[in-house]
Structures are given as C-alpha cells and as structure tokens.
Amino acid sequence: MIKQLIEKFDDLLKENRAFVFFRFPNSDRVHLYIQNGLAVNRTSEFSSPGFVLAPFSYQGEHSNLLIRDQSEEFLIQTYKPRREYKNPIKSASFDQSSFINLVINAKKYILEKNATKVVVSASGEINNSSKFSRLFCDTLLEYQSAFVSFFHHPEIATWLSATPELLLQKKGLHYKTVALAGTKSSNPHEYRPWTEKEKHEQKIVQNQIHDDLKSICGKYKIDISQTSDLNAGHLFHLLTEFEFQTDSHPTTILKLLHPSSAIAGHPKENALAFLKHNEGYSRSFYSGFLGPTDINDFSLFVNIRCAQMLSDTVRLYVGAGITLDSDPESEWEEILQKSKTISKMLN
C-alpha cells in the first residue's frame, strides 16, 4: 500500500491540509490523522483524539493538538533489509567551532559543581530536492524500531521524526517511560564495549527518572527493567524501562519527566540555566515531545532524530550528553553520526 500512501500524502500537501502520518516502533501499520480546517488547537489534558506536538520549553502549559477529524490506516511491510548507501551522505551546515566551544564551556560548568551532565545541541541546514512523501516512506523503511512521524500543519510547522525515545505512555491506569542515553555505532565492524562515560551518562538519566517517579507513585510499585541495548538504525543506545501507576494527573507526570536528563541534563534547573545562556538558539520543537492521544490512553515520544521541513532545505537538530569525561572531538563526531538518521534519507 505504499503507493496509495504516497498518493494520499501528496494530495494532502497540495490541498494545504493539516495532517500527520505516524507509525509505532516495530509495526506495519501507518496511521493517518486529518484535521478539518486549519485552526490551531491547544490542549493540556492529553485526552482528546488527535496528535500532540509540544516544544522543548513545555512546562505544563497548553500544547499544539492536531484534531483527529478523519483517520485512515495503511499496511506497509517495513521489515526490509537495511540499504547500503553508495553515494556520499550529505552533511548539514553545523558550526564545528561553536559546538566544540559549547562542549568546553559545558565541561567547565560541570567542573565548577553546577551540574553532573549537560545535554548540548546544534542545528544546521541541508539542501533538499526530495518529495516529502518519499522522505517519509524511506524513513519508515530504514528505522523499523523508531516512532516515525510526519507532522504538517500550515499554521504551525512541518516536522519529520524517527525517534527511539518514549517519553510517557498511558494505557488505562498504567504508565510507561524509559531512560535512554549513551550512543555508539551498531556497525559490527566498528564494535566496541560501552565506555564508563556512556554507562555513567545513562545511569544519571535512570536515577533521575526513578527519583521523579518515587515522588508521585506513593503506594504503587515501580517496575524497572534491566538495562539493555536498543538498536536505533545505525546506532545503539542504553535503555532502561519503567512501568508504574500513580494517582497524579498526566500533566503532573509530564512536568516531572520533561525535559529529562537525557535531553537537558542534571540537575535539570542548572542544566537549563546553562543552555539558556550558552546554546545560542531556540530548540523549538526539537527535544520537545509528540504523539497520538485519545480518551483513555496516549503515547508521547521525545522529538529527537528529527528535522524541520522547510521549502527547499531541511533543518536538522542533534544533541550530545556532556559529562566531565567528555571529549569535545568525540562529541562532535557523535552529533554527526546522529544527524545521519535524517540526512542519509536525502541521498
């Protein structure tokens, strides 16, 4: 049904409609939500049928909601062998000098005992001549274990995302979240064990989430998985899952969990203060969250491995977790590797 999906996608763009295509990890069902009209709707309840898009700066206020006035499903076999990219992968216009300086300043901030981890980011543009529908379908095929989405609202923004990171999932009375950190290549020819820096970085995220959940779970038990490797396309990450119940409102949980130590740092307030004065740009919807919502459940994912789609360029966003053991050049290489999640789709 990929041909029908592309035709529908292209028609919606031509008609200037508000819509979102998305697929859950390891699924062969692609969902389409269409909103009637171009109203900019906002929600704080996460219980309206639709799709939420919230910025990095979210602190419990209303988030953008694309209302599900119409919906369709497409069955697409996405379990294809990973493709080899024979042409050079395009590079975005990241500023290496500025990023290296940002990492150095973050390490100084940590050395002065202001934080144990700071997640810095960079953005850069890359030319694009590919149709958005083709980019989306290529991303579906390449990243089977990611939550892949294409959000388009003419009055808000257009974003493509292939994120491996769940922020918060609600099914009835049960919740799930994850601690995700550490990055290395999944190429078997480049195998290496996890470094102590990477394991420490993930442990910071894991401990912070556990502490946050203990403050709201009360009498309820928090189930914590063993830490394992998560394959996210050409990368591996360290993953720990949390399942829990709470009497707290979803907004309260989200304010606790977002932004996590995986996308901001630790302690959160100190890391955010550093980013505000040093990062030098607005993250917008990068490292915010997005996902489908309904009356009794929702699935919200952190908007990483993503890009803002512009008229003839694509703006990529990537980040790296900085600790006292970080090497600036290695962190630079890490963000280049992460940027390939989207940039190699432009081949």
In a domain, 30, yes or no: no
Q: Which domain holds residue 340?
A: 45-64+94-148+163-346
The residue assigned the tokens 């979210």 is 58
In a domain, 326, yes or no: yes
In a domain, 204, yes or no: yes
The residue assigned the tokens 């109203």 is 39
Supply angle C-alpha 73, 79, 81, rounded to 5.
Answer: 145
Q: State the CATH number of the domain containing residue 181.
A: 3.60.120.10
- The two tokens of residue 128 are 């694009």
Rounded to whole angstroms, the Cα distance separating 300 from 250 reads: 11
Rounded to whole angstroms, the Cα distance separating 218 from 242 reads: 15
Question: How far lies 75's CA from each of 4, 78, 81, 196, 205, in Å?
Answer: 10, 9, 18, 42, 36
Instruction: Please state the pTM of the whole predicted model.
Output: 0.94
Question: How far lies 229's CA from each of 18, 172, 210, in Å?
Answer: 36, 28, 19
The residue assigned the tokens 């990062």 is 279
CB-CB contact of 261 with 208 (8 Å):
yes
Could you give the angle at which helices 96-111 and 328-343 cross, rounded to 10 degrees? 130
- The two tokens of residue 15 are 């008609």
What is the per-residue pLDDT for 124?
92
In a domain, 86, yes or no: no
Question: How far lies 287's CA from each of 130, 144, 243, in Å?
Answer: 25, 21, 22
- The two tokens of residue 340 are 């390939």
The whole-number mean pLDDT for each consecutive block of 10 residues of the chain, a chain of 347 residues, reads 94 98 96 98 94 96 95 82 51 87 98 96 92 94 94 98 97 96 90 93 95 96 97 92 97 95 95 96 97 96 96 93 95 92 82
Rounded to whole angstroms, the Cα distance separating 319 from 304 reads: 8
Nearest one of 307, 338, 145 to 239, comparing CA atoms: 145
Rounded to whole angstroms, the Cα distance separating 331 from 321 reads: 8
Rounded to whole angstroms, the Cα distance separating 286 from 40 reads: 19
What is the per-residue pLDDT for 230?
94
In a domain, 76, yes or no: no
Domain count, the chain: 1
CB-CB contact of 262 with 165 (8 Å):
yes
Rounded to whole angstroms, the Cα distance separating 126 from 315 reads: 6
Count the residues in the chain.
347
In a domain, 4, yes or no: no
Rounded to whole angstroms, the Cα distance separating 94 from 122 reads: 7
In a domain, 259, yes or no: yes
In a domain, 218, yes or no: yes
